[in-house]
Amino acid sequence: MTSPQSPIRATYHERTEKSREAHAKARDLLPGGTSRQAGFWAPYPLTYASAKGAHLTDIDGNRYFDLINNYTAMVHGHSYPPIVEAVRKQSALGTGWAGSNLAQLELAEQITDRMSSLDQVRFTNSGTEAGALAFNIARKVTGRPKLLMARFGYHGSLMEFETGSFGHEGPVTLLATYNDLANFERVLAEHGDDIAAVFLEPVLGSGGVVTGEADFLKGVQRAAQKAGALFVLDEVLTLRFHYSGMQGALGLTPDLTMLGKLIGGGFPVGAVGGNREILKIFDPDDLKLFHTGTFNANPVTMVAGGISLAHTTKDVIARMDTQAATLRTALTEAAHELGLPFSTNHHASCLNLYFSDHPPQSSIVRKDTELIGRFHIAAMNRGLFIAPRGMIALSTIMTQDHISEITECAKMAIADVAAEAE
């Protein structure tokens, strides 16, 4: 966080007076002034008025390149015309009813065609709900009470998962170290009989874009299944990295897969997919697990998600990856030229920036809190919106010109940070 006298913070205050006022009112009406912890940062978050393509506009009229795209969910940027048109049409036809719709079949078909471990999909309204559902399925199938996840992994805003994302074990949450197969095997050997499911992200997203090594991921899958636990691969974020998710890229065969973000086309969504044998738990003729939700598979989300997924082709995924690599190189060179310690984690279209010589084990335990806080504000002053923790997620509609412009803005923001660090 920047000091009150900081020129970076003073500029932020000057540019964003209406957001400051809106936040003062929000503090009165919303606990903590927000509905979402990830949408808050000090001294106050921006209130946006609109978003289109690669840009956000705040209520003071400032324009920003959106470099986080609602934490990876807006894969095609904002107000993507094919989605806007489909949602407009669907809204006129009705937005929800307590029966089926064809759009959910089309989206489920697309997902199962892409991801071979999935025969069937059960839709929810968020990745968090997908995590809760996956855990419920695992408890019902195995009759066991606990879960094992990676320390600093993230599977949603549910107490059982949140405790692990901050690095603490809980009454039902056991932890092991990401990319340390022996540690996972040890916990499974000691507590296997209690563990219903092992949850794992193929790349730690919220933990700081940490790539899971293929041998580690395959080894945990093997050890989980050997211990009689379900292996739940959380692809809520990582489906954007590969046409058939990281499981397709690495040949993983999870028992259950969590999905979200990309498959909602910008609307609230989540899903759990798996094979028929496990998911027959929902068979109405022999119901073992009750699961419902007023907005599950609502047709608006389903049509938007169908377009979002169909337009996430191998070519656009490859283009985003190249753009992220270009940006990473440019930012690293700029920071080093200015004499700042700087490193990145990078996987496909996502980056996490660190003002330290090496990335930490997780962005939860970073030592550069002061500098990244300063850069986050400086970047907004220069017209770039990144996650407060330094995460960047590109979208498919960005052009090479955008990347060049973003690079120039980012260089100025890095220079602002360097000037204040002197």
Ligand X SMILES: Cc1ncc(COP(=O)(O)O)c(C=O)c1O
Which residues of this protein are in contact with ligand X, per CB under 6 A?
Answer: 71, 126-128, 131, 154-157, 201, 205-206, 234, 236-237, 260, 270
- Decide whether 16 or 165 has the Cβ nearer to ligand X: 165
Between CA 403 and CA 201 the distance in angstroms is: 28
Half-sphere exposure of residue 15: CA atoms within 13 angstroms, side-chain side: 23
User: ∠ at Cα 118 (113, 121), nearest 5°?
Assistant: 95
Q: Which is nearer to ligand X, 257 or 381 (by Cβ)?
A: 257
Phi, psi of 126 (to 5 degrees): -165, 165
CA dist 398 and 262 (Å) reads 17
Nearest approach, Cβ of residue 154 and ligand X (Å):
5
CB of 212 vs ligand X, minimal distance in Å: 12
Q: Closest residue (Cβ) to ligand X?
A: 127
**Shortest distance, position 199 Cβ to ligand X, whole Å:** 9
Q: Min. distance of Cβ 17 from ligand X in angstroms?
A: 30
Whichever of 8 and 150 has its CB closer to ligand X, that residue is: 150
Rounded to 5°, angle at Cα 408 from 403 and 410: 90
HEC string of 223-290? HHHHCCCEEEEECCCHHHHCCCHHHHHHCCCCCEEEEEHHHHCCCCCEEEEECHHHHHHHCHHHCCCC
> How far is C-alpha 155 from the geometric centre of its chain's CA atoms?
9
**Nearer Cβ to ligand X (260/373):** 260
Q: Is 211 helix (H, G, I), strand (E, B) or coil?
A: strand
Measured from the CB atom, the residue of 57 and 177 that comes closer to ligand X is 177
> Cβ of residue 160: shortest distance to ligand X, in angstroms?
13
d(C-alpha 104, C-alpha 23), whole Å: 38
**Shortest distance (Å) from residue 147 CB to ligand X:** 13
Residue closer to ligand X (CB basis): 269 or 281: 269
